[in-house]
Amino acid sequence: MEFNRPIWTEIDLTKLKRNYEKIREIVGRRNIICVVKADAYGHGVVEVSKALEKEGTYAFAVASMEEAINLRENGIKAKILVLGYIDPKTLNIAPNLNISVSMFDKSFIKRLKEYTGERPVKIHIDVDTGMGRLGILPGEVVYAVDAIKKIRNVEFEGIYTHFSSADSDSEYTKKQLLIFNKVLSKLKDERCLPPIIHSSNSSAILNAPNSFFNAVRPGLLLYGISPLKASVEGFEPVLSFKTRIIFSRKIPEKASIGYEKTFTTTKPSLLATIPVGYADGLPRSLSNVGEVLVKGMRAKIVGNISMDLSVLDVTGFPFIHPGNEVVIIGKQGNDEITASEIAEKVGTIDYEIVTRIGKRVKRIFKNS
Ligand SMILES: *Cc1c(COP(=O)(O)O)cnc(C)c1O
């Protein structure tokens, strides 16, 4: 596990599978659509998807046609749903690769009418019940369904909505669900409900059991990260982010560290440099506030984080030398730094911390 530049994430596929099984326990026999967009939230989409496919997942959801094609090129056989925008030109590719697409815009009807391929295009209609981002308005769904039912070679496979605040506002989630249920009952009256109905993201899987319908769409929870303020019993983070000290030395007091001299030693200090910077996904706003684990203890990041390097204050730590392992996210000794802790420090969400881990950070897959 030694590289030129010692900086890597460890992806524990055993924990991934356990998180999947835990979701399975919560949702029973309903279909699980594993959300693996953005390189499986930075965890490495091919290995993650292969492991989840072995668990028997019903489908994968991704953000783009490129992400969907990448899964097929890497041998993934399960169904794939593209949640986001697709170029209408790619409509001809989707059915041949068994990729389902989302219709979130009425103007898509026109594109479907122009589709000339042999195999049916599979469509999931995205209903905007209050997310306000993508989606067909509730009052227009019946019209849209009638329109696509008339088009040759279009298969109305599913319908879904997305919650904006299932982690924090149960009243608003209830409102969104009520609107979605009304749309569903109208479609039922018209005898055109599609087979697959879904709405629950990770927070709704934990908070809104009446939102499960016959499929759920977890992302974050699969990776063992809690979408709620508190951690959730039974789920464990899949990803650890690690590096090694590459340089350490004693330095006198009144020495300034890094760009813009934002840190100056107030006493003789022991400092250690790690080959991790903001280009690797260590947020620059952790400068002088972030901590990492060294020898099972917390070391402060001192001075401004550079693009490729950061400096730690390890004064008083025992036996510091190049090669010592440093944990940025994960466990060491009896302590743990989570993506949530970092997110809170820099004023963002865990999603952003893990998806921004840089391309030049190696992914190592293991089974614990
Ligand atoms: C990203 C996404 C999800 C997964 O959300 P989590 O909060 O990670 O569980 C589900 N549905 C849609 C439409 C999404 O964009």
pLDDT in tens, 151-164: 989 999 999 999 99
Task: State how far the Cα of 251 lies from the Cα of 202, in Å rounded to an integer.
Answer: 47
Q: Name the percent of the chain lying above pLDDT 90.
A: 96
Residues 180-190: what's their mean pLDDT? 97
Determine the pLDDT at residue 4.
Answer: 76
User: Would you give the distance in Å from CA 262 to the centre of its chain?
Assistant: 33
Residues 334-360: what's their mean pLDDT? 97
Count of residues making up the chain: 368
Q: How far is the CA of 274 from the centre of ligand 1 (A)?
A: 34
Would the CB of 220 count as within 6 Å of ligand 1?
yes
Mean pLDDT, rounded, of the chain: 96
The answer to whether 37 is a known catalytic residue is yes
The answer to whether 115 is a known catalytic residue is no
Task: State how far the Cα of 278 lies from the Cα of 357, in Å rounded to an integer.
Answer: 9
Determine the pLDDT at residue 89.
Answer: 85
Determine the pLDDT at residue 2.
Answer: 54
Token pair recorded at residue 100: 């389902």
CB contact at 8 A, 120 and 155: yes
pLDDT above 90 (res 198): yes
Determine the pLDDT at residue 192.
Answer: 94
pLDDT band at 88; cut points 50, 70, 90: confident
| Annotated active-site residue in 188, 259, 261, 366 | 259
Task: State how far the Cα of 348 lies from the Cα of 351, in Å rounded to an integer.
Answer: 8
Residues 53-81: what's their mean pLDDT? 98
pLDDT band at 230; cut points 50, 70, 90: confident
pLDDT tens track for 93-134: 999 999 999 999 999 999 999 998 999 999 999 999 999 999
Q: How far is the CA of 113 from the centre of ligand 1 (A)?
A: 29
CB contact at 8 A, 208 and 173: yes
Determine the pLDDT at residue 3.
Answer: 57
Task: State how far the Cα of 76 lies from the Cα of 53, in Å rounded to an integer.
Answer: 8
Instruction: Residue 297: name the closest of 260, 267, 326 by CA.
Output: 326
Residues 185-196: what's their mean pLDDT? 97
Would the CB of 83 count as within 6 Å of ligand 1?
yes
Q: Which atom of ligand 1 is nearest to the CA of 218?
A: 9
| Annotated active-site residue in 15, 37, 79, 122 | 37
Task: State how far the Cα of 137 lies from the Cα of 129, in Å rounded to an integer.
Answer: 7
Cα 198-200-201 angle, rounded to 5 deg: 125
Q: How many CA atoms lie within 13 A of 197 on its CB side?
A: 17
pLDDT band at 231; cut points 50, 70, 90: confident
Q: CA torsion 337→342→344→346, rounded to 10°?
A: 160
Beta-bridge mates of residue 123: 101, 156
Give the Å distances, CA to CA, from 128 to 159, 177, 224, 276, 340.
11, 11, 28, 41, 29
Q: How far is the CA of 59 from the centre of ligand 1 (A)?
A: 14
Instruction: Residue 65: name the closest of 100, 32, 36 by CA.
Output: 100
Token pair recorded at residue 243: 């590096």
Q: How far is the CA of 35 from the centre of ligand 1 (A)?
A: 6
Token pair recorded at residue 268: 């003789």
CB contact at 8 A, 251 and 269: yes
